[in-house]
Chains A and B, each alone.
Chain A
């Protein structure tokens, strides 16, 4: 995973396996984006498996973005990721727009 920066937006393609073992790497990317004040676009289409550790990090990154008036969005979220958010009760904090 790495940050692809375009203008003021940093895009991260999430790894298929968002295990606890990639959490540190994911955190480092989000901290870097936070340090540089980027908007965050998370491409989550390839996520096949998620963990609580990574969902915490994504959630915290979202909080940090929004608190500092930056945009945070997850695009193309896979069913696996959405289900994981639902299972942890985090989906109540997500708005779906059509």
Chain B
């Protein structure tokens, strides 16, 4: 590798990733401060300080001067706060939150290679300056290194610092040069290096630390300031800092300045090299070179012999692309294993039995690998939740409402792919709760006997192999009369339609629906909740709403824990095979004829333990020939859909459980009604994964239209089949490499009339 090939960008990328994590941590802790400014946890302040300090340190390494300048002032203020020199008030915390925003913007600007106009944050910078340094206009970057020495309250002190790096110090991205330069900024520094541990070039390991140092620092700064220099290397070194009398400063002969102009103090004969000052020649001199270290004991590395045991590294940073590749390969492994397993059935019985045992073990190990790999990508939802307190605070201020956010379950883990998709719908739900859910003013709440402080609760939990994100508010609930009249006005429902309370509540997810009297810039133009539902649905999730008038509203968002694999039940309908997610299946049964009923709108229901469950006929929805149409001869798979409701999916038979690798339709083709994704079965065939909520909606639409338009044709079935669904089912019989769907991407629904 030549140095020209060396690309700093990869390290910058790591820095920005770390910044993102650090900012989340700072945001969370600032939210804690905001929540309880009177009773601040010192560790929160220390942690926020460390965040800003780390951001500043990295920014300095990459010469992001604007970022360094701002971070320095911000850090200085935090330092004064944690030392108790500045009292923490709501105003100060608010300033810190704003400073954190600016820090975020500056990091983003550094990442984009641009600078932020100074006037965009000069006011905040001046406020920080005033608090941190007692001045309104500082030059932070220039002042950075002298701040500590300019405090007249502090006397001149001499620090004696022994710094012995452990061999792995450099491997942990620590650089002694930077430490030295930071110390130089604190005062007069004398550096004495010890090269005793440096081995012969043949034995040297390029990234191990061999040098050690003794520093003498004469400075007015505090011991804390000196310790901070080594804050991030304490685990990778032996460090001793002592304070000597200032009078001792005069007897140091072996200073850098002396050594630069004088021959080194040495007892060995000098071997000088041909050098000239004009050429800025620097030649190493033999006598100053220490003797090689004594040979290491057999089997013992020289550096290791001189150093204490390396600290245990409990985590490493791995590029996400690598993890994704691993996940994909495990997915392929799962498919291959399923394919091999299927081949066993074709073997002679004695061989099949032998192979079956092997495949059982293979299957178990494959699943373990898959679960372990997926666990690598699992992240707590905390990273998403961390943005919400700020959002609530700002929205509440904007809307003139008093709102407190309660959160729980932020450590609940979910796949990173889900995390990435979670943020937008969650923000929209929170906005909706604050804008529409909570009463207009605190006075309005008092009038109805509620405390003026409204509560919005955000929680996450694992339930039935899925993650549930729940947003609850104690606001006014959904005004059903208004929702219904609005739905009629917009033509979403007919005026004479009778809907249950739940169905009315569900109308808020209808496209273009809004009951807001005026458009606000908080919840937008009422197109949000349908988009939220669609986005969640695209993730294989569902969202439901429960509301009690005057009491509040509860949104429940249910998402799969991962978007990579799925435990599914393979079912057959005609010659087609489909996958139903195991987590949604409640039971399967073959109903007796007496349990089957037909409603006036043509909908089929099955009576199950006193309850009627709507039947979804897959063969009708997808126009599948040769399927079993008589429910009493077929099987009904009862699944749970949004809102805890149940529907029965009519299938010919259950073929067995199988873990399948999810192949996105959105990425490879287009969204298809009733289908959430595709997969490849063990025999190489493509199978479609059913979206049970989508199927229910399709079936309802069929019945709804049938009911409204053609009641006299009671014997006529209406098949609702999207163009994409039809095409996909036609191609599902071909192998993966042949999946090439030469169809229009139109998604409008076609109504196909079919005689039963």
**Interface residues in chain A, defined as those with a beta carbon under 8 Å from any beta carbon in chain B:** 1, 15-27, 30-31, 34, 44-45, 50-53, 56-57, 59-67, 71-78, 81-82, 84-98
Shortest C-beta distance, A48 to chain B (Å), equals 10
A22 to B4, CA, bound (A): 10
| Contact partner, B279, options A18, A65, A71, A76, Cβ 8 Å | A76
Q: Once the chains bind, are B283 and A31 in contact (CB under 8 Å)?
A: no
Shortest C-beta distance, B165 to chain A (Å), equals 9
Residue of B nearest to A92 (CB): B259
Shortest C-beta distance, B561 to chain A (Å), equals 38
| Contact partner, A73, options B2, B199, B263, B273, Cβ 8 Å | B273
Per-residue contact bits, chain B 1-37, to A (CB 8 Å; 1 contact, 0 not): 1111010100000000000000000000000000000
Stretch in B75-83, B176-184, B567-575 touching the partner: B176-184
Q: Once the chains bind, are B170 and A97 in contact (CB under 8 Å)?
A: no
| Contact partner, B211, options A19, A20, A88, A92, Cβ 8 Å | A88
Interface residues in B257-307 by Cβ distance below 8 A to A read 259-260, 263-264, 270-286, 288-289, 292
A44 to B256, CA, bound (A): 22
A51 to B207, CA, bound (A): 10
In the assembled complex, 28 residue pairs joining A and B whose CB atoms fall closer than 8 Å, in A order, are A1-B2, A1-B3, A15-B6, A17-B6, A17-B8, A27-B206, A52-B209, A52-B211, A56-B198, A57-B204, A57-B206, A60-B199, A60-B201, A63-B198, A63-B284, A63-B289, A63-B292, A64-B200, A65-B284, A72-B284, A75-B279, A76-B279, A85-B282, A87-B177, A88-B177, A89-B193, A89-B256, A95-B272
Q: Once the chains bind, are B201 and A82 in contact (CB under 8 Å)?
A: no
Q: Once the chains bind, are A88 and B275 in contact (CB under 8 Å)?
A: no
Given contacts A67-B289, A88-B177, contact A73 B281 (CB under 8 A): yes
Shortest C-beta distance, B284 to chain A (Å), equals 3
List residues of chain B with CB within 8 A of the CB of A61: 201
Given contacts A31-B201, A60-B200, A88-B191, contact A94 B273 (CB under 8 A): no
Q: Once the chains bind, are A22 and B6 in contact (CB under 8 Å)?
A: yes
A81 to B282, CA, bound (A): 10
List residues of chain A with CB within 8 A of the CB of B509: none
| Contact partner, B278, options A50, A93, A98, Cβ 8 Å | A98
Residue of B nearest to A71 (CB): B273
Shortest C-beta distance, A81 to chain B (Å), equals 8
Given contacts A24-B207, A94-B282, A97-B275, contact A60 B260 (CB under 8 A): no
Shortest C-beta distance, B397 to chain A (Å), equals 46
- B-side binding surface: helix, strand, loop or mixed? loop
Q: Once the chains bind, are A98 and B276 in contact (CB under 8 Å)?
A: yes
Shortest C-beta distance, A33 to chain B (Å), equals 9
List residues of chain A with CB within 8 A of the CB of B272: 95, 97
List residues of chain B with CB within 8 A of the CB of A72: 273, 283-284
Q: Once the chains bind, are B284 and A89 in contact (CB under 8 Å)?
A: no
**Interface residues in chain B, defined as those with a beta carbon under 8 Å from any beta carbon in chain A:** 1-4, 6, 8, 170, 175-177, 180-181, 184, 191-193, 195, 198-202, 204, 206-207, 209-211, 213, 254, 256, 259-260, 263-264, 270-286, 288-289, 292
A-B contacts besides A73-B281, A85-B282, A87-B181, 13 pairs, CB < 8 Å: A20-B175, A34-B201, A73-B283, A75-B279, A86-B256, A89-B191, A93-B195, A93-B288, A94-B283, A94-B284, A94-B285, A97-B281, A97-B283
Given contacts A64-B201, A93-B288, A94-B284, contact A52 B175 (CB under 8 A): yes
Q: Once the chains bind, are B176 and A88 in contact (CB under 8 Å)?
A: yes
Shortest C-beta distance, A19 to chain B (Å), equals 7
List residues of chain A with CB within 8 A of the CB of B270: 95
Shortest C-beta distance, B465 to chain A (Å), equals 44
| Contact partner, B281, options A16, A63, A74, Cβ 8 Å | A74
Q: Once the chains bind, are A17 and B3 in contact (CB under 8 Å)?
A: yes
Shortest C-beta distance, B393 to chain A (Å), equals 42
Residue of A nearest to B8 (CB): A17
Shortest C-beta distance, A90 to chain B (Å), equals 6
Q: Once the chains bind, are B286 and A66 in contact (CB under 8 Å)?
A: yes
Q: Once the chains bind, are A90 and B193 in contact (CB under 8 Å)?
A: yes
| Contact partner, B276, options A21, A44, A81, A97, Cβ 8 Å | A97
| Contact partner, A87, options B180, B207, B263, B279, Cβ 8 Å | B180
Given contacts A21-B6, A88-B211, A94-B284, contact A73 B275 (CB under 8 A): yes
List residues of chain A with CB within 8 A of the CB of B285: 66, 93-95
Q: Once the chains bind, are B284 and A62 in contact (CB under 8 Å)?
A: yes
| Contact partner, B192, options A19, A65, A86, A89, Cβ 8 Å | A89
A1 to B256, CA, bound (A): 31
Residue of B nearest to A27 (CB): B206
Shortest C-beta distance, A82 to chain B (Å), equals 6
List residues of chain A with CB within 8 A of the CB of B6: 15, 17, 19, 21-22
Q: Once the chains bind, are B289 and A66 in contact (CB under 8 Å)?
A: yes
Instruction: List 10 tightest A-B contacts by C-beta distance, closest first.
Output: A15-B3, A92-B259, A62-B284, A89-B191, A98-B277, A89-B193, A23-B206, A66-B286, A93-B288, A64-B201
List residues of chain B with CB within 8 A of the CB of A53: 170, 206-207, 209
A20 to B271, CA, bound (A): 30
Residue of A nearest to B173 (CB): A20
List residues of chain A with CB within 8 A of the CB of B282: 44, 74, 77, 81-82, 85, 94, 96
List residues of chain A with CB within 8 A of the CB of B264: 92-93, 95
Given contacts A67-B289, A95-B263, contact A74 B3 (CB under 8 A): no
Shortest C-beta distance, B573 to chain A (Å), equals 58
Shortest C-beta distance, A25 to chain B (Å), equals 6
List residues of chain B with CB within 8 A of the CB of A82: 280, 282
Residue of A nearest to B284 (CB): A62
| Contact partner, A59, options B192, B284, B292, Cβ 8 Å | B284
A17 to B273, CA, bound (A): 26
List residues of chain A with CB within 8 A of the CB of B256: 86, 89, 91-92
Residue of B200, B256, B263, B283 most packed against chain A (CB within 10 A): B283
List residues of chain A with CB within 8 A of the CB of B191: 87-89
A20 to B278, CA, bound (A): 29
Q: Once the chains bind, are A22 and B1 in contact (CB under 8 Å)?
A: yes
